[in-house]
A and B are shown apart, each in its own frame.
Chain A
Amino acid sequence: MDRRKFLLRSTVAGGALLTAPIFDTWWQKGRAGEIPDLVMTRGGKPRLATKEAVAALGGMERFVSRGDIVVIKPNIGFDRQPEQAATTNPEVVATLAEMCLEAGARQVKVFDRPVNDPRRCYVQSGIEAALKPLDGVELKYVDDRRFRDMRIGGQVLTTWPIYTEAMEADVLINVPIAKHHGSARLTMAIKNWMGIMGGNRSRIHQRLDQALAEMAAFVKPTLTVLDAHRILVANGPQGGSLDDVRHPEVIIAGTDEVAIDSLGATLFDMKGGDLGYVRKAAELGAGEADLNKLKLREIPLSA
């Protein structure tokens, strides 16, 4: 549909809207056929919001085919509880896993390489309990043998040990939480890839923005769902105090993680350009940081 046709159709539709409400449905259907680059839900329970957001992107069937092996990578980096907004909302993770299974996924693997004790992180984040009832979903601890040196091809990260299961999956879904971070300012989708990196990650911090941008250019997720149901606005990435937690009740979904981080930054009164790694990732061609160039659909949901 080119612009001329679209304008024409919109005019007709607009006219019809005034005269015959029956055309309203047709118009909406026409819009629905156009898949936005970014979807942002506001309000609603995390489960509903996740479903609506992915549906607006064309449904999970667009990303997952029958028999696929799916890896879902949440942020389970710290020993915190969901209310503290340091780890991805368990409902969001579980809903995505469920949708993958419904779309025909053979297996869904969920993991992270946490900073704190992995056992406590998996349990206290609520993610272990949320995934337990789902057959075909595996919440696994990272197995050190499965890291392999891979060519990242960047300036900082020429090669780095990366978790093979994440790279070998048919479908890779990034499910970060949006939160404050001392050195990166914010951690959202791109920063979440540190959880598939092996070795001594502390060293990366010397050139964190560049390294993160290079990871963004290297890892190609099928889908990214940013959990901003609760966000941590200070003392991140661990937080701990409920005073630092806000409740925007937002879920952002899309396929371009640079765009998602750009949009996510607005929740913290920032722009994508304020984040070094977003700027650099866009320069490396990992995605589009300019929100004006992107089609965004906002979906208000009632609780």
Chain B
Amino acid sequence: MNMGKIFSLRGLRITSQWLFLLFFLFLFLETEGKGADELGWPVRFFLDFNPLILLTTLLSSHSAPVAFFLSLIMVLITLVLGRVFCGWICPFGTIHNLVSRAADRTRALVRHPTWFKFKYYILVVMLALAAFGSQQAGLLDPISLLIRSLSVSIYPAFSLATSALFDVVYHADISGVTTISERIYNVLQDTVLPFQQGFFRQSVLIGLLFLGLLALNLYERRFWCRYLCPLGALLGLLSRWSLLRREVAEGCTNCGACGRDCPGGAEPRSLHSWAPESKEPETDRTREAARAMNSEAAADWRHTECHACFNCDDICPHNLVKFRLGLPSFNWGGKLKKAQSPPPALDLGRRRLVTAAVAGMAMVPLMRVGNLPAARANPKLIRPPGSVPEKEFLSRCVKCGECMKVCLTGGLQPTLLEAVVEGLWTPLLVPRMGYCEYHCTLCGQVCPTGAIERLSLEQKAKVRIGLAMFDRNRCLPWAYGIPCIVCEEVCPTPQKAIWFEESEVINSDGEMVMVQLPHVDPDICIGCGICETLCPVTDQPAVYVTSIGESRSRENQLLL
């Protein structure tokens, strides 16, 4: 199969990158409730096609949602064409491409040929962790990382900045200008701006991490993709067996153009770049032999680092670089038959691999000794409705932040240490920021791993995520004899979980007054937290939810 320049493969690849990036961003924007029970778009698309998440989920929880098996398609594609995902599809990769455009071309050159291995070690650590029940792949999985960073940091910041800009013009009320700016603002609100401004804890940390990774492109092009990305590593390992072969036809002038624009750092070479320095007088036979060896070697490149971007095919001034499908040559692992070595192929080293695996394994108990004993749950760790028991939750959640993005009230926030180190950036409900909407099941709909199960409306109405408690020293009727019971008013269960007794109490003026004193019925309360969100004691609410009573736990219960 000859993939020649009938049309520009490079142009096709760039088009594909843009389309997938826009599709990704579209799905990201669509990860937002519109008032209906269902979301409407397959917003988990990129997560469902992610073999890294499939593999680690299988290892850590011994099961995986059916949708994940879509990622086997990605595995098949990789086995045929190599890391086309990295070059043609990955939205994070495309963003890296865009950023690296700002840098000059020399940064395409590989500065640290030995660092390619890092990502494979990272992958091995992730797999070892998963094998021992700890799902940490999401920390560095590019899709999870991208969605999380956008959800809790970049997108809210973008929205805040945009709104602030239009607010200035709105309040300045300049005739003519404000009308136009408001019209533009309305269009933006209907398209790219969120329904409401999101506020997230740790937005600075997560955002800076993201921007830092992008900034590495200024040091070396696609630094992340070359040296760090565990999904790239997994696909790289698969691409060892891929059928895509690169060939250089005779006539190469050794101009080196192809090596200068290689995003993956696979360092394709021209024909003569590894020509043996022969001291023997040239004969027809040696020339023939050298040519044969060279053409074989020249077609070689860091196979596992090739993004199949076809830049080298496109750029070759003599149109000699060709890609074709063929059987793999198992010329890797450092066991080279010839003296004139092509660029060092992937050699991870057995000892290092073992070290990485052991490090991953050792991290599991290290992280877990920091846990509370099983019978003692963290009162603040209020998991989204439908969350599976904590141990399983941690073996599933990839911290992608989809649930935080979709949460109607903005109550779902990334954990810091509430679920200890192991649960970093997993979701918890912070009722001070937003409550759990009674009829909403969106977090379970977007969760890619089943850490939050998809609930029907009937199931949702019964699931408890915690229990409300009163702080009578702060509650207006209890502490001051002042009427209130906002908590009872907003309580969403058909039979209210907050009830009140009418009672005569003495107020601060010494008068006997009739007030309604609120109580919680622990049999009915589902812990949605709307009472806490709307309690008029705004700084430290007089009614607050803790995780006790959560349906998912057998231990963390109050009632017999």
Contacts and interface: CB of A to CB of B under 8 A. Distances in A.
A8 to B, nearest CB: 53
A240 B493 contact: yes
Contacts of A239: 494
Interface string B506-528: 00000000001000000000000
A120 B408 contact: yes
Interface string A211-243: 000000000000000000000000101111100
B483 A206 contact: yes
Interface string A112-154: 0001110111111000100000000000010001000000000
A116 B440 CA distance: 11
A213 to B, nearest CB: 15
Contacts of A119: 33-35, 195, 408
Contact of B483 (A181, A207, A237): A207
A125 to B, nearest CB: 10
Contacts of B500: 182
Contact of A116 (B437, B484, B494): B437
Interface string B465-491: 000000000001000001111101111
A240 B458 CA distance: 12
A117 B438 CA distance: 10
Chain B interface main SS type: loop
Contacts of B493: 240
Interface stretch (A61-69, A197-205, A279-287): A197-205
Contacts of A202: 484, 486, 534-536
Contacts of A124: 35, 439
A182 B439 CA distance: 22
A79 interface: yes
Given A117-B408, A124-B439, A235-B496, A205 B486 contact: yes
A183 interface: yes
A124 B33 CA distance: 13
A208 interface: yes
A183 B494 contact: no
A237 B489 contact: yes
Nearest to A238: B492
B35 A238 contact: no
Contacts of A183: 483-485, 488-489, 516
Interface residues of B, number: 35
Contacts of B492: 78-79, 116, 238, 240
A241 B495 contact: yes
Nearest to B534: A202
A235 B171 CA distance: 42
B419 to A, nearest CB: 26
A79 B439 contact: yes
Interface string B159-171: 0000000010011
Contacts of A116: 437-438, 492
Contacts of B36: 123
A181 B485 CA distance: 11
B286 to A, nearest CB: 77
A145 B492 CA distance: 29
Contacts of B408: 117, 119-120
Nearest to A115: B490
B535 A120 contact: no
B378 interface: no
Contacts of A123: 34-36
A198 B468 CA distance: 27
Contacts of A237: 489
B488 A182 contact: yes
Given A117-B437, A120-B439, A183-B516, A206 B484 contact: yes
A12 to B, nearest CB: 56
A117 B409 CA distance: 7
A121 B495 CA distance: 20
A203 B539 CA distance: 13
Contacts of A240: 492-494
Given A79-B437, A235-B496, A238-B491, A145 B167 contact: yes
A232 to B, nearest CB: 11
A79 to B, nearest CB: 5
B283 interface: no
A205 B484 contact: yes
B538 interface: yes
Contacts of B437: 79, 116-117, 120
Nearest to B166: A145
A244 to B, nearest CB: 8
B160 to A, nearest CB: 13
Contacts of A235: 494-496
A233 B488 CA distance: 16
Contacts of A244: 494
A181 B33 contact: no
A183 B36 CA distance: 31
A55 B438 CA distance: 40
A129 to B, nearest CB: 10
Contacts of A128: 35
Contact of A182 (B170, B494, B516): B516
Contacts of B439: 79, 120, 124
A182 B535 CA distance: 15
Going nearest first, the 10 A-B pairs with the smallest beta carbon separation are: A123-B35, A240-B494, A119-B35, A241-B494, A202-B536, A117-B408, A202-B486, A203-B536, A182-B488, A120-B35
23 contacts: A115-B534, A116-B492, A117-B35, A117-B408, A119-B33, A119-B35, A123-B34, A123-B35, A123-B36, A124-B439, A128-B35, A145-B170, A145-B171, A182-B500, A183-B516, A202-B484, A202-B486, A205-B484, A205-B486, A206-B484, A237-B489, A240-B492, A241-B495
Interface of B: 33-36, 167, 170-171, 195, 408-409, 437-440, 476, 482-486, 488-496, 500, 516, 534-536, 538
Given A206-B482, A206-B536, A238-B492, 5 more contacts: A115-B490, A122-B35, A182-B485, A202-B534, A244-B494
